[in-house]
Amino acid sequence: MKLIIYSAVLTIFTLYTLAEYTLALISPSCLIRKYDQVISAIKTCLVISSTTTSIMIQFMLLFSRQGKPRLQKWFSSYPEKSKKKFTRELITNILGRGTKMSSFIEWNDMKIVYKRYASLYFCCAIENTDNELITLEIIHNYVELLDNYFGSVCELDIIYNYEKAYFILDEFLIAGEVQETSKKNILNAIRLQDFMQEEETPQGLFEDAGLG
């Protein structure tokens, strides 16, 4: 995507500069010098983009102060037995840490980043080379999304509307990487899903079944 943008910029610059040259607004030497400067800048951008890696979250856990898991999202494949072991170990480890201790833990060739909001702990596992501060920002953005949707989200919102928490997370992250940075776009997508669900549910269906 970045390469396409750089190519488009180069094309626009070339056409604009050639137009200036045709109208005799710049000399041939100035044309060559300006062209070389743009080529150099684009090469630098391409090098930077090729060496920059995005955060890859291995999995995310939400759990309460009592150690009850409320949400689990696994972006990497693990056996079911390993998932249960990881969850148990991390909950025990994090709940045993003091409030003044670091929010970063080196664990099983990964780094664990966690943060507590009210009665819920949000925990992410990332690779050793990933940035912990960016991961904290990702956690905070997810909490803000939950807050905006539920209105001052609490543990009960996650318990009784866990599918909404998953929907929001799926709109925010895909394959462990951020796919959408706009909170407005994410919330609009969730509200559209809510509207479609309401439209697809025949009026009075739950009442007729004695569930209303």
Q: How far apart are CA 105 and CA 69, in angstroms?
A: 19
Per residue in 129-181, pLDDT tens? 899 999 999 999 999 999 999 988 889 999 999 999 999 999 999 999 999 88
66-80, 171-185, 197-211, range with the lowest pLDDT: 197-211
Q: How far apart are CA 172 and CA 180, in angstroms?
A: 5
Per residue in 28-41, pLDDT tens? 666 566 656 656 55
pLDDT at 108: 86
Contact 186, 148 (CB under 8 A): no
pLDDT at 53: 47
Higher-confidence position of 91 and 50: 91
